[in-house]
Structure 1
Amino acid sequence: MNATAKANLENRLAARRAAAGLDDEHGYKITVQHPGEAGTRIARAQHTFKGLRIFGSDSVIVTDDNGEVVSESASNRRQGLSSSRAAVAAGMGMPDVTASVSAEDVINSVVKRVAPVGVHRWKPEAELLIYPVMKTVRVAAAANKPEFALNALDLEEVVDHYELAYLVKTRMASGSKLVYRDSIVNAKTGALIAEWDALQTVIGTGNSQYNGQVPINTTLSGSTYQMLDTSRGTGGRYGGMAITNANHSSANSPNAGQIYTNSTNTWGDGQQYIPGGSTTNANGQTAAVNALWGLMNTYDTMKNVVGWRSLDGNNTATYIAVHVDNNYDNAFFDPSCKCMFIGDGGSSFNNLGSIDVIGHEMGHGVTDATSNLVYSGESGGLNESNSDIQGEATEAYARAGGTGTTIPSTGNDWVMGAEISKTGRPLRYMYKPSKDSRSPDAWSSTIKNLDVHLSSGPNNRMFYFLANGSSATSGSDYYSQYLTQTPRNMTGIGTDKAFRIWFKANTTKFTSSTNYADARNKVLQAAEELYGVGSKEATAVKRAYAAINVGTDVPESGTGTGVSITTQPASITVAPGATASFTVGASGGTSPYSYKWYKNGTLVAGATSATYSFTAQSTDNGAQVKATVTDSSSTPVTVTSGTATLTVSGSGGGTTERVTNGGFESGTTGWAGTTGVIGSFTGQTAYEGTRYAYLGGNGRTATETLTQAVAIPSTVTSAKLTFALHIDTAETEAVAYDKLVVTVKNSSGSVLATVGTYTNLNAATGYQVRTADLTQFKGQTVTLSFAMNEDASLQTSFVVDKVSLLTQ
């Protein structure tokens, strides 16, 4: 992506800040871009505040050929970064972005603590950033649940507060170990905030090196053959996919060495490497054959099945170095060189260059180039699980001949490490992780504290169930106690569809901080986009995640017992000022149903019936509207409708919007007075979008006013004022203590008309839309005034949104 295209996209994203409730201090920094589905591009953008990156807060943006934003999937760790009343009240505020400790001092302190005698493989880095310190809270519906009964969707991660910090990346060798560490250090005090291992290793995963005779792509240079496949990948270090000979260079600082060469194009003897022997004779070449065969199949699986080329999607070539160290029982992907290092095996394993190990490690390369899931906590477990999924998919594809556009549902063994293990015992079981005596079968609130190679277990099981289904027999390795709907055994959709859904979610929807709950929602979105809302594939995703205690179970499609969408919201075209109305129909399950409506991905407050209507404005053109319907069964089932598009076109008979920024999505633009009341605040929600005007709510004597001058031409035939108003109060007496008065004033401030007077006695659930006819003021420039007065105690909140003055 060139600098101009990057700047253009960053500008387009900046224009969307107001709609997300962000001020001008917030920004976007594009990091990478990849090709997407037909005519689209996928970009990753880091969120910034005052020029500093916000750790774990980023967006995945899909654009069309013209650079227009089609969709954005974002983490939400930046909302508290402002000087708004909500941020101050929440104790977050706006952090000082000036460090008190130097980057050099921080690096030195980390190195001294982590590996005092270590040698740097790569230059250490210290990036100054804003670190959201997260806390886990229960959603309201789970407030009284016992710990053992918690489901992943019962908890959510929220920002507790922000710290100015350094992210210190140290990539060192210490003794016989590689020490790759990511450390978060307070930039004010030098104190350690968080830390995790950053070396993405195989840790005992893999398969056999015995693939028989296999065709490998090499290059002839003069009279010498090279293990360089120029048909797969371009650029990179060698101009194609290459296998090099590390020739026993130390694992704590491996040297990739030179590309393998041979006088003939027959390589290897198919046998395990003999310790102490030559790394270039037939026996020594076998490790290189294993590596190239695995790399070719990993590349082909992604390219032929999902259209993804190499690790980064842009066809940048990578390489694998074999014969690392002596008797080395490991393999690892190094993000610094975007390459892989493989050992010959030692006390526990044979050579680690098997198909699923290569697939696993190259899977780390894909994650590194796309979602970049933080290698710690739940996101770290998903990072590892993605690699296991990639390994199994590659193995299945290769065993079927390594050709075609689909992944067969046979050929792989759904265990990791059985064939390379000298004992024959797998180290990971995807269908029942607990068989290794360490990994959990399902999500729990403590899973984030496990090693990432163990916390990957539940997602591995989810993927197995998604592909192959489960068993209804208690005691079976394929049984889940969390599947409670009909039938008790879920039906799989096959490895091919399961992989497509997972790959799409990881590369186009996951952010670096995605956890199990977020993964479930985004994998479901991917399934719905690929196979349709309400499809058997989408239902299978819900059931597969329910099987690992992430979300509640639902009946399978076609059983006649579950709620389903019968009438989809229809796309419509209306004129500005006309009413846009969308309706959803449902049947099955247990009535009555509850409804939620979403406009451009944002929940619409107060829209809780089967029909959602509102006055369309020109700015609503292109709006995307969808609904969810939830039944009243003991285990409620929720289904999502398709998305309808609203087109606002035509003159509407001369209808014109006279209010500027009536939805407050552009911040304070157009408004005067106590503009600090505009924003997104704790305890209140918008009628539409994310911003609104929050007058009152202080619980003390206060006066707050918002005004805007509007011109009503003398030629109009009507002028209609509307606004959405929500009132809640802590007052208990039947006395009008707190008041909001809406008036129309002239240029000198004299009241021309009182639109309405609202008090704590008018408190009600949700928003009410208020209207007034201002046609009498045509030919004048008048000022709309919202004036709030609160007494000395007990708050009343007057929340105003969607202010509109339409003339015709």
Structure 2
Amino acid sequence: MHCPIFRLTLLSAALTASLAQAQSFHADAAQLQSMQSRAEAHVRQFPGLSMHGSDHSYQVRDIVVDADGSSHVRMDRTVGGLRVIGGDLVVQTDRMGNLRAMHHNLHWRVGAAGKPALNANRAAMTVTRTLAGNVGKPELVIYARDQAPALAWDVPVSGEGADGTPFEKHVIVDATNGRQLDAWDDIHTAAAAGTGRTLYSGNVALTTNSTSTGYELRDPSRGSTYTIDMKNRTSGGAILTDADNIWGNNTTSDTASAATDAQYGTAVTWDYYKNVHGRSGIANDGKGAYNRVHYGRSYNNAYWSDSCFCMTYGDGDGTSLKPLVALDVAGHEMTHGVTSRTANLTYSGESGGLNEATSDIMGTMVEFYAANTSDVGDYLIGDKVMVAGGALRYMYKPSIDGSSADCWYSGVGSLDVHYSSGVANHFYFLLAEGSSSPYGNSPTCVSGNTRVATGSGTLAGIGRTAAAKIWYRALTTKMTSSTDYAGARAATIAAAQELATTLGADYSAQVAAAWSAVGRN
């Protein structure tokens, strides 16, 4: 999955327990299997809640276990052996195994599909008429995102954009009439981020790996995450090595400087997720991702890719952008991986905006968590990488960038995901900091079909820590691939209620007020 920072796989069936903050319950394999079995039984027992049918099957993607032993089992759905896009769900049970809730975004029951009028070759041909690239094998699926279920082909297309960013697109083609139903890119771009002498974060401590000939830029303490130098190519590369374990010189004259930014950002992001949210690595399996720096020539972007389980950073063109290895970039990119392994928010429409906003939100929280005096926390995305100042995005008033939406309106899902993300970014800022704070004044939204906030309402924030915990719990236990802004509102309100004891207060009313302040009632 490629996720760039700005516009220019499913897991195996193995079960992993994602531990919530401050929990003490540790589920073994037998307990996890029992939770899975209970969840599947609830799905069958309550078909009205789960939209279950006789030919429906499920594969567990993730299990989150709370401190009291209650569970959230995330499952992907197939009907008649066909994957249902938009059919995933989360089954929530209490510690005794009693059903508490089911979370999904289906509005119609999904039945057995007929035979496609359009075969795989013709589906691929309809895509290649408008999109140049390497077409993979189309997969027959049932498409049920915000519409009545339809038999469709998922046509994978890979290639490279004009700016050098690779793409791994999914184009969904109606198997009856060849009409394109949806499309998204699994490359998610994002604002970029011994002793590391970095470009943006000053001199920092790095954990590296000792070898027989010196050191390599690999961190054995954080899932063996490492950084390779692409040497301005788009393939290949080798892990950086050093003789004295002092990396970089704080300038671009040493190629190791940007590499230390990337490695440092990866380490801080790992620590943030582990120490704040109880998550051990992107996939919560203790394994580290890796970084690729100096990608291409004058490449003006950075991105996360599921296919390599890695972050890739360009050096910028030196005119508008500097190397895109700033701290909030690393947090943003790694969070795309977290999202893909939890809610798996589809990268189009409102769910795509929520995907991008999740990375902006958590990338910002990583920056605050670092408490680095050379890169102080703020709500500006990518400010360190701009040659002429400013930022790629502004969470306190997203419309400052000229394209992002401050407020929800009925057509916001038609925007590029980097711009529709503004609604959730604005919501999060208001929830965490309020409408007036040292980080910026954040006008609320007035009624009407408008993208730009001009209201004068006032809100008090609940603080970044509480806001981040609410968003993370909503992401990992409530949201599904097709969650839209209405669903995100419901998910975060429910998460706030469930975290009341942990946070010391029930912030659900404040969450609701912040959503209303960005126009999503």
Q: Same fold (TM over 0.5)?
A: yes
Cα separation, 2, equivalents of 1:547 and 1:436: 20
Match of 1:541 among 508, 511, 514: 511
Structure 1 position 338 matched with structure 2 position 309: yes
| TM-score normalised by L of structure 2 | 0.83
1:686-712: CA deviation from partner (whole Å, max 9, x where unpaired): xxxxxxxxxxxxxxxxxxxxxxxxxxx
Asked if structure 2 preserves the Cα contact closer than 8 Å seen for 1:28 and 1:47, the reply is yes
Asked if structure 1 preserves the Cα contact closer than 8 Å seen for 2:497 and 2:506, the reply is no
Structure 1 position 61 matched with structure 2 position 88: no
Structure 1 position 106 matched with structure 2 position 96: no
What is residue 805 of structure 1 aligned with on the other side?
Answer: none
Identical counterparts, % of pairs: 33
Q: What are the equivalent positions in structure 2 for 1:287-306 lying under 5 Å apart? A: 287-306=258-277
What is residue 352 of structure 1 aligned with on the other side?
Answer: 324
Deviation at 1:41, TM superposition (A): 5.0
Residue type of the alignment partner of 2:490: N
Match of 1:188 among 165, 169, 176: 176
Match of 1:465 among 412, 430, 438: 430
Residue type of the alignment partner of 1:184: I
Task: Mark the runs of 5 or more structure 2 residues left unpaired by the alignment.
Answer: 1-12, 16-29, 448-455
Asked if structure 2 preserves the Cα contact closer than 8 Å seen for 1:34 and 1:312, the reply is no
1:230-288: CA deviation from partner (whole Å, max 9, x where unpaired): 1112xxxxxx11111122113xxx33x222111121110111x25xxxxxxxx011111
Deviation at 1:352, TM superposition (A): 0.7
Asked if structure 1 preserves the Cα contact closer than 8 Å seen for 2:44 and 2:52, the reply is no
Cα separation, 1, equivalents of 2:92 and 2:218: 34
Structure 1 position 165 matched with structure 2 position 152: yes
1:121-143: CA deviation from partner (whole Å, max 9, x where unpaired): xx824221111364xxxxxxxxx
Q: Point out the more displaced range, 283-292 or 35-44.
A: 35-44
Deviation at 1:95, TM superposition (A): 4.1
Structure 1 position 453 matched with structure 2 position 415: no
Structure 1 position 432 matched with structure 2 position 416: no
What is residue 267 of structure 1 aligned with on the other side?
Answer: 247
Larger Rg: 1
1:36-60: CA deviation from partner (whole Å, max 9, x where unpaired): 3324554321233223222112112
What is residue 56 of structure 2 aligned with on the other side?
Answer: 27
Deviation at 1:536, TM superposition (A): 5.3
More helix by share: 2
Cα separation, 1, equivalents of 2:496 and 2:486: 16
Cα separation, 2, equivalents of 1:23 and 1:306: 32
* SS in structure 2 of the partner of residue 419 of structure 1: helix
Match of 2:142 among 106, 117, 130: 130
Task: Mark the runs of 5 or more structure 1 residues left unpaired by the alignment.
Answer: 83-93, 135-158, 234-239, 275-282, 403-409, 552-808
Deviation at 1:220, TM superposition (A): 0.4
Deviation at 1:438, TM superposition (A): 1.6
Alpha-carbon distance change, 59 to 178 in structure 1, aligned in 2, over 3 angstroms: same
Deviation at 1:11, TM superposition (A): 4.2
Alpha-carbon distance change, 54 to 17 in structure 1, aligned in 2, over 3 angstroms: farther
Match of 2:369 among 386, 391, 397: 397
Asked if structure 2 preserves the Cα contact closer than 8 Å seen for 1:35 and 1:314, the reply is no
Residue type of the alignment partner of 2:429: Y
Structure 1 position 512 matched with structure 2 position 512: no
Q: What are the equivalent positions in structure 2 for 1:143-162 lying under 5 Å apart? A: 159=147, 161-162=148-149
Residue type of the alignment partner of 1:336: S
Asked if structure 1 preserves the Cα contact closer than 8 Å seen for 2:156 and 2:170, the reply is yes
Cα separation, 1, equivalents of 2:145 and 2:468: 33
Alpha-carbon distance change, 55 to 330 in structure 1, aligned in 2, over 3 angstroms: same
Q: What are the equivalent positions in structure 2 for 1:131-280 lying under 5 Å apart? A: 131-132=143-144, 134=146, 159=147, 161-173=148-160, 176-202=164-190, 204=191, 209-233=199-223, 240-250=224-234, 254-255=235-236, 257-271=237-251, 273-274=252-253
Structure 1 position 51 matched with structure 2 position 86: no
Deviation at 1:447, TM superposition (A): 0.4
What is residue 20 of structure 2 aligned with on the other side?
Answer: none
Cα separation, 1, equivalents of 2:53 and 2:430: 46
What is residue 755 of structure 1 aligned with on the other side?
Answer: none
What is residue 73 of structure 1 aligned with on the other side?
Answer: 102
Alpha-carbon distance change, 111 to 10 in structure 1, aligned in 2, over 3 angstroms: farther
* SS in structure 2 of the partner of residue 188 of structure 1: coil
Asked if structure 1 preserves the Cα contact closer than 8 Å seen for 2:72 and 2:90, the reply is yes
Cα separation, 1, equivalents of 2:185 and 2:213: 45
Deviation at 1:331, TM superposition (A): 0.3
What is residue 44 of structure 2 aligned with on the other side?
Answer: 15
For these two proteins, the number of residue pairs brought into alignment is 474
Cα separation, 1, equivalents of 2:464 and 2:424: 15
Asked if structure 2 preserves the Cα contact closer than 8 Å seen for 1:170 and 1:180, the reply is yes
Cα separation, 2, equivalents of 1:65 and 1:224: 51
What is residue 277 of structure 1 aligned with on the other side?
Answer: none
Alpha-carbon distance change, 9 to 172 in structure 1, aligned in 2, over 3 angstroms: farther
1:652-673: CA deviation from partner (whole Å, max 9, x where unpaired): xxxxxxxxxxxxxxxxxxxxxx
Alpha-carbon distance change, 166 to 64 in structure 1, aligned in 2, over 3 angstroms: same
* SS in structure 1 of the partner of residue 247 of structure 2: coil
Deviation at 1:336, TM superposition (A): 1.5
* SS in structure 2 of the partner of residue 489 of structure 1: coil
Cα separation, 2, equivalents of 1:21 and 1:459: 27
* SS in structure 2 of the partner of residue 298 of structure 1: helix
Cα separation, 1, equivalents of 2:311 and 2:94: 34
Deviation at 1:22, TM superposition (A): 4.9
Deviation at 1:109, TM superposition (A): 4.2
RMSD (CA atoms) = 2.9
Q: What are the equivalent positions in structure 2 for 1:713-732 lying under 5 Å apart? A: none
Structure 1 position 369 matched with structure 2 position 341: yes
Cα separation, 2, equivalents of 1:415 and 1:327: 23
More strand by share: 1
Asked if structure 1 preserves the Cα contact closer than 8 Å seen for 2:445 and 2:519, the reply is no
Residue type of the alignment partner of 2:212: G
